[in-house]
Amino acid sequence: MDRAVLDQLYRSHGPAVLRRARQILQDEAEARDALQEIFLSLADHTSFTLRDGTTAWFYVRTTNYCLNRLRDDRNRARLRSERLTPPATSTLPDVEATVIARGLLERLPAPLAEVAVYYHCDEMTHEEIAALLGCSRRHVGNLVERIRAALGIAECG
């Protein structure tokens, strides 16, 4: 990709990518790493072109990257704990809602975790999510139901 185009994309979309990464990762250093990784991967995309969906592309790409990062971190922690002695049983202090949310997201397959973030964290409507993902509103509704079933969440209302 042309460096001038990449610089323009970084200036115009970098702040939104960083903001999105902060929302999901809840860690400034990890969010900055995510920003760099996303733009480094973009440098290798010779077929990437500017178009109306560029903002949505960055939004989806950042969300997926961050969710994968959370899963990778969880898997690394699991592997480390398997190599070490089993942890002593103790009571854990109260955890914040973001920690609980991270745990729930890690239990979901990537497509469902992505929709869960859009729906529950970003409070997007089914129509907004459908437009972002390029699918029907009904399909989004089905995905939300699958999320509820997977996490054992009863429907409110």
Q: Which residue has the tokens 């979309």?
A: 13
**Residues 85 and 10 occupy one common structural domain:** yes
Q: Per-residue pLDDT for the chain (157 aa), expressed as one digit of tens each?
A: 678 888 888 999 999 999 999 999 989 999 999 999 998 888 776 666 666 678 888 999 999 999 988 888 777 777 666 666 444 444 444 445 666 677 778 888 888 888 988 888 888 889 889 988 889 999 999 999 998 888 877 665 4
What range defines the domain where residue 126 resides?
A: 92-157
Q: Identify the domain boundary among 50, 65, 90.
A: 90
DSSP 123: -
* Radius of gyration for the alpha carbons in the chain, expressed in angstroms and rounded: 18
Q: Name the pTM for this structure.
A: 0.55
**Conformation bin of residue 123: beta by default, left when phi > 0, alpha when psi is -120 to 50:** left
- CATH number of the domain bearing residue 69: 1.10.1740
Q: What is the token pair recorded at 16?
A: 């939104």
The total of structural domains in the chain comes to: 2
Q: What is the length of the chain?
A: 157
